């Protein structure tokens, strides 16, 4: 079964053809990073306009790269939530037009479910149930994946997402957009013990995260040193900050895995590309006798292949839509 998948939730216009939820026959991504770098972050209006300009060519390339015609496609899957509403609408309306014109079934896909499903492309042997740590610029969740289309949130951020906290700290350190990626690179040779950073906890919610205080601590450290005429070591502060963020993520995830009895941990989302997170997750899993799964780096960021992987299972579960399908800026993964 071949799924044509479309992703436009933020600043990547992406399309792919995925076969049987496990194999990406093509995966085309048109990135807007260089344009948004000028502004230090994604400008929603610009992102939406660029999606409009790119989507036809991206979908055409995805079909060509896969050696497919539209008649070879069994369903068209599209990210419909969550994300930037204007950006989402471009992808949703394009997918609806394909479905209406061709009669191909339309499959709505949740963005975070897709990030988890990216692991099925890298690890075809992976099957639910398992525990997933989903970390991105806008989301930080610990999720029980009970089945391919059945999810339960056990932990979430109460304020900033981990990726957002890294982006904001990177900006304060003077690093260019995308902040999280450049922070990871800048901190590669830094000392994670050079600066003291807090490890926030949420009272009464052992699996939830809170990163706003950690972000404030980094900003206060920068301001304090500068006011005294000192100089911040970006590699050291970056390493210390990332260590604190990752420490919170791993500590809560380990607690959830042990208490809920999971032996398989899956990393997902853009921040799953972070080298420290991967290293610490691997160390924790080895210590606990767990198996760790993480997507290939090319599947960590937003892409169409992950949408096609999840779309396959949504289609098998009968989760299709008609022309009334809409886009939503927020929606629970459950």
Residues 247-262 have pLDDT tens digits of 999 999 999 999 999 9
Nearest to 78 by CA among 69, 68, 66, 62: 62
Separation of alpha carbons 177 and 166, rounded Å: 11
When pLDDT is averaged across residues 20-44 and rounded to a whole number, the result is: 95
Q: For the chain, give the mean pLDDT.
A: 96
- Tens digit of pLDDT for each residue in 259-313? 999 999 999 999 999 999 999 999 999 999 999 999 999 999 999 999 999 999 9
Assign 314 a pLDDT band (cuts: 50, 70, 90).
very high
Candidate CATH numbers 3.30.470.30, 3.30.420.40, 3.40.50.150, 3.90.1170.40; the one for domain 2-116+299-316? 3.30.420.40
pLDDT, position 252 = 97
Listed in order, the ranges of the chain carrying CATH 3.30.420.40 are 2-116+299-316, 127-295
DSSP, collapsed to helix, strand or coil, labels residue 145 as strand
Nearest to 190 by CA among 241, 230, 155, 149: 241
Sign of CA dihedral 110, 115, 121, 127: negative
pLDDT at 85 over 90: yes
Q: Which helix (H) or strand (E) holds 118?
A: helix 111-122
pTM: 0.96
**Which fold would CATH assign to domain 127-295?**
Nucleotidyltransferase; domain 5 (3.30.420)
Assign 131 a pLDDT band (cuts: 50, 70, 90).
very high
pLDDT at 137 over 90: no
Q: 140 - beta bridge partners? A: 135
pLDDT, position 103 = 97
Beta strands, E only, 47-92: 75-81
Separation of alpha carbons 105 and 136, rounded Å: 30
């Amino acid at each position: 079964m071949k799924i044509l998948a479309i992703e436009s939730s933020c600043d990547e216009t992406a399309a792919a053809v995925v076969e049987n939820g496990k194999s990406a026959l093509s995966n085309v991504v048109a990135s807007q990073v260089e344009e948004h770098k000028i502004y230090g972050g994604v400008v929603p209006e610009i992102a939406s306009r660029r999606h409009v300009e790119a989507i036809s060519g991206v979908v055409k390339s995805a079909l060509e790269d896969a050696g497919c015609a539209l008649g070879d496609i069994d369903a068209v899957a599209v990210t419909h939530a969550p994300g930037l509403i204007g950006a989402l609408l471009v992808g949703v309306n394009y997918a609806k037009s394909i479905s209406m014109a061709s009669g191909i079934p339309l499959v709505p896909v949740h963005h975070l479910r897709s990030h988890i499903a990216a692991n099925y492309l890298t690890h075809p042997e992976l099957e639910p149930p398992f525990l997933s740590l989903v970390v991105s610029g806008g989301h930080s969740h610990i999720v029980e994946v009970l089945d391919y289309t059945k999810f339960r949130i056990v932990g979430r951020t109460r304020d900033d997402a981990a990726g957002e906290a890294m982006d904001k700290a990177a900006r304060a350190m003077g690093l260019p957009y995308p902040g999280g990626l450049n922070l990871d690179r800048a901190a590669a040779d830094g000392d994670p013990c050079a600066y003291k950073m807090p490890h926030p906890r949420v009272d009464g919610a052992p699996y939830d995260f809170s990163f706003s205080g950690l972000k404030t601590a980094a900003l206060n450290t920068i301001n304090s040193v500068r006011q005294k005429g000192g100089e911040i070591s970006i590699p050291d502060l970056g390493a210390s900050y990332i260590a604190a963020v990752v420490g919170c993520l791993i500590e809560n995830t380990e607690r959830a895995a042990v208490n809920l009895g999971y032996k398989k941990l899956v990393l997902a989302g853009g921040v799953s590309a972070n080298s420290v997170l991967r290293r610490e997750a691997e160390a924790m899993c080895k210590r606990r006798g767990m198996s760790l799964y993480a997507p290939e780096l090319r599947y960590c960021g937003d892409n169409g292949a992950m949408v096609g992987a999840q779309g396959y299972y949504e289609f098998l579960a009968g989760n299709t839509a008609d022309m009334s399908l809409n886009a939503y800026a927020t929606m629970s993964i459950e």
